């Protein structure tokens, strides 16, 4: 299928999952991602796949655990408060090394918050969320087309690393309609999963999916193994995009929806003769720290823009290790910054010679 | 020489961690016998709970998944929906099923998931050292009900089998005990019937097995 279609982000994600071979989807309705379960409730039966509306987000993520343990490609989705409920399951899934895709079309928080777009779940997604030492791979699309591309990638990475992959969108991306094309079908040959619990046949030992290790030596060894895997991800799976960043004296750092707004602000700044650029992390974990730090010889300062009160900015500061001033501008509660607001921040910084 | 009694093939030849006098061993055996009787070991996936039976996956010669506390019916749902031709069972205690996992068991039962639930009720949290369970009887003393279960404070012991039996979808729900040879034989029949309901009728079944906790009672 290579024709161009006009689709909502949530629906495009569902279609991309189906085409990536997702054969089970479990979820609970929550705004602003309900178009995704609605789409898949219609679409999954068409391909002989399973759609099941769970009794809760807690149940949904545990259904994902069970299905992933059989080796099937499986997905769940939710929005911020529902993602909080999934954290127990995510910790178990990461510990048991099960591949799955989890979508967060995030909204305003904390608490019940709002149903408008926000990025307040960055810490939760990238720094753990659930208990214990583990990481999700976190991918942050900035367009409906990128939702499609990263959903396909997410299933492949989940299988490759036997790790949960989160697609971190927001209410705006989920609701927005844009033209998309889907990758050509028919090339999805899945690797065998000899570890899966499919019934112990005589030709193999039994398979057990579990996260319990009562002996501290064994649990430590398991943690070391997991950390080795995360180190491999840090080597191979950092993704980002730069826009006019080569000669930029002021570099904006933003992901997802906000990166698009910042791109407009960069264009507006350039028109005013300000050498502004944009660095857009696509993988939020692992974070593309080295690529960002490479911009320091020319960049005089960095401006991190987020729809929260300052979360990714900590990773920007860690990446730059104090070599350049890092500034922050955020809107929260479901408020989306306008390009003019961001431009005003750029102009203010330039006026203060990037030190304000 | 004719062998008249042997270890079920589905039961692993290992020592368990269960306390002397604990009935988990008997119940494990009955489950393994049922699986052997139907000759479905190669198609069976078990789900272990959190609680005393958390290590059940070590004691069966079967593929197994270990679930988070109370979530076994959701995990079993995921397995069964992915592999509808397999036999899936959960093995859960009363703290797991009747307290923290009430939503998961009620909805798995209500959907009529074609799984078998072995619900071992000893009316106490054994693994954590003898705390009051949702099933602890009125007046019973535990480490968190030192004056006896006061129903005006803690509520009444919850009757899961009766509660689930009000639903339309479950095909077979039974309560048995394993405190005498006669009861063990009845329990064996019930567990076998529960697996039969899954295998032949593709329906939900649950057997509550009244058990004991020789360490904490």
Q: Which residues of B touch A68 (CB under 8 A)?
A: 78
Instruction: Examine the domain organization and report whether A222 and A265 are in the same domain.
Output: no
Any domain includes A200: no
Instruction: Examine the domain organization and report whether A227 and A336 are in the same domain.
Output: no
pLDDT tens digits, one per residue of A265-277: 999 999 999 999 9
A356 pLDDT above the threshold of 60: no
- Could you tell me the pLDDT band of residue A193, with boundaries at 50, 70 and 90? very high
pLDDT tens digits, one per residue of B134-151: 999 999 999 999 999 999
Q: Which residues of B touch A74 (CB under 8 A)?
A: 78, 82
Q: Residue B159, exposed/middle/buried by CB under 10 A (0-12, 13-18, 19+)?
A: middle
Whether residues A207 and B63 touch (CB distance < 8 A) is answered with yes
A62 touches chain B (CB under 8 A): yes
Q: Which residues of A touch B100 (CB under 8 A)?
A: none
Helices and strands in chain B: count of H runs, count of E runs: 7, 8
Instruction: Examine the domain organization and report whether A134 and A252 are in the same domain.
Output: no
Question: What are B41's two structure tokens?
Answer: 């070991």
Any domain includes A273: yes
Using CA of residue B142, residue B144, residue B147, residue B151, what is the dihedral sign? negative
B81 touches chain A (CB under 8 A): yes
Instruction: Examine the domain organization and report whether A49 and A170 are in the same domain.
Output: yes
Distance from CA of A9 to the nearest CA of B (A): 26
pLDDT tens digits, one per residue of B13-47: 999 999 999 999 999 999 999 999 999 999 999 99
Distance from CA of A45 to the nearest CA of B (A): 13
Any domain includes A209: no
Any domain includes A246: yes
What is the structure's pLDDT at A1? Answer: 52
Whether residues A209 and B64 touch (CB distance < 8 A) is answered with yes
**Domain boundaries, position A109:** 5-187+214-236
Which is higher by pLDDT, A247 or A355? A247
Question: What are A278's two structure tokens?
Answer: 């944009």
pLDDT tens digits, one per residue of B185-205: 999 999 999 999 999 999 999
Instruction: Examine the domain organization and report whether A324 and A227 are in the same domain.
Output: no
Count of CB atoms within 10 A of residue B107's CB? 18
Residue A286: cis peptide before it, omega within 30 degrees of 0: yes
Instruction: Examine the domain organization and report whether A78 and A172 are in the same domain.
Output: yes
Instruction: Examine the domain organization and report whether A326 and A339 are in the same domain.
Output: yes
Any domain includes A192: no
pLDDT tens digits, one per residue of A26-80: 999 999 999 999 999 999 999 999 999 999 999 999 999 999 999 999 999 999 9
- Could you tell me the pLDDT band of residue A187, with boundaries at 50, 70 and 90? low
Instruction: Examine the domain organization and report whether A218 and A263 are in the same domain.
Output: no
Per-window interface: B 146-185 vs A, CB < 8 A: none
Any domain includes A194: no
Can you tell me the mean pLDDT for A313-320?
Answer: 98
Any domain includes A307: yes
Q: Which residues contact B17 (CB under 8 A, 6 or more apart)?
A: B55
Domains (range + CATH), chain B: 24-210 (3.40.50.970)
Question: What are A223's two structure tokens?
Answer: 């943690």
The total number of structural domains in chain A stands at 2
Instruction: Examine the domain organization and report whether A166 and A73 are in the same domain.
Output: yes
ipTM of the complex: 0.97
Element (H, E) at A141: none
Any domain includes A201: no
| % of chain B beyond a pLDDT of 70 | 100
CATH of the domain at A282: 3.40.50.920
Question: What are A142's two structure tokens?
Answer: 């900035």
Whole-angstrom distance, CA of residue A35 vs CA of residue A317 = 37
Instruction: Examine the domain organization and report whether A265 and A218 are in the same domain.
Output: no
Are A336 and A259 in contact by the 8 Å Cβ rule? The answer is no
CATH of the domain at A55: 3.40.50.970
Whether residues A206 and B61 touch (CB distance < 8 A) is answered with yes
Instruction: Examine the domain organization and report whether A105 and A40 are in the same domain.
Output: yes
Per-window interface: A 38-57 vs B, CB < 8 A: 50, 52, 54-56
Whether residues B75 and A65 touch (CB distance < 8 A) is answered with yes
Instruction: Examine the domain organization and report whether A182 and A272 are in the same domain.
Output: no
B14 touches chain A (CB under 8 A): no
């Amino acid at each position: 299928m290579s024709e161009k279609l006009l689709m909502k982000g949530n629906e495009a994600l569902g279609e991309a999952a189906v085409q990536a071979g997702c054969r089970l989807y479990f979820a609970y309705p929550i705004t602003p991602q309900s178009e995704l379960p609605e789409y898949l409730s219609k679409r999954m039966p068409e391909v002989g796949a399973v759609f099941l509306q769970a009794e809760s987000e807690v149940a949904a993520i545990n259904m994902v655990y069970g299905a992933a343990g059989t080796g099937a490609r499986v997905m769940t989705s939710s929005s911020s408060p529902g993602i909080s409920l999934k954290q127990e399951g995510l910790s178990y899934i990461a510990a048991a090394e099960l591949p799955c895709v989890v979508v967060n079309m995030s909204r305003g928080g904390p608490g019940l918050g709002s149903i408008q777009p926000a990025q307040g779940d960055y810490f939760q997604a990238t720094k753990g969320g659930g208990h214990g030492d583990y990481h999700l791979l976190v991918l942050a699309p900035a367009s409906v087309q990128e939702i499609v591309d990263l959903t396909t990638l997410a299933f492949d990475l989940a299988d490759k690393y036997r790790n949960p992959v989160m697609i971190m969108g927001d209410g705006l991306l989920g609701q927005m309609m844009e033209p998309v094309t889907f990758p050509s079908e028919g090339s999805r040959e899945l690797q065998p999963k000899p570890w899966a619990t499919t019934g112990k046949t005589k030709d193999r030992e039994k398979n057990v999916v579990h996260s319990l290790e009562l002996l501290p030596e064994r649990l430590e060894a398991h943690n070391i193994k997991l950390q080795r895997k995360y180190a491999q991800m840090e080597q191979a799976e950092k993704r980002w995009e730069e826009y006019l960043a080569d000669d930029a004296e002021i570099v904006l750092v933003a992901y997802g929806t906000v990166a698009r707004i910042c791109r407009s602000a960069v264009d507006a700044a350039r028109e005013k003769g300000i050498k502004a650029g944009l660095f857009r992390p696509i993988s939020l974990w692992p974070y593309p720290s080295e690529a960002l730090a490479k911009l320091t010889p020319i960049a005089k300062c960095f401006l991190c823009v987020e729809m929260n009160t300052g979360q990714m900015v900590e990773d920007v500061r860690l990446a730059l290790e104090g070599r350049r001033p890092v500034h922050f501008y955020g809107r929260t509660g479901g408020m989306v910054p306008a390009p003019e607001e961001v431009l005003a921040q750029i102009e203010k910084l330039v006026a203060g010679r990037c030190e304000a | 020489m004719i062998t008249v009694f042997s270890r079920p093939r589905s039961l692993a030849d290992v020592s368990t961690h269960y306390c002397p006098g604990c009935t988990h061993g008997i119940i494990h055996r009955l489950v393994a016998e049922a699986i052997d009787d139907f000759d479905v070991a190669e198609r069976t996936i078990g789900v272990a709970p959190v609680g005393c039976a958390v290590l059940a996956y070590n004691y069966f010669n079967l593929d197994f998944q270990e679930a988070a506390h109370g979530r076994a019916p959701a995990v079993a749902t995921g397995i069964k929906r992915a592999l509808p031709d397999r036999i899936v069972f959960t093995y859960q205690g009363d703290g797991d099923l009747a307290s923290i996992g009430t939503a998961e068991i009620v909805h798995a039962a209500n959907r009529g998931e074609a799984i078998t639930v072995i619900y071992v009720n000893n009316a106490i949290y054994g693994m954590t050292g003898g705390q009051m369970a949702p099933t602890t009887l009125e007046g019973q003393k535990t480490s968190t009900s030192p004056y006896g279960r006061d129903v005006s404070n803690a509520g009444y012991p919850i009757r899961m089998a009766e509660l689930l039996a009000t639903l339309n979808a479950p095909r077979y729900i039974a309560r048995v005990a394993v405190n005498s040879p006669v009861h063990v034989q009845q329990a064996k029949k019930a567990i076998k019937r529960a697996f039969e309901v899954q295998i032949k009728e593709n329906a939900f079944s649950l057997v509550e097995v009244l058990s004991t906790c020789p360490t904490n009672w």
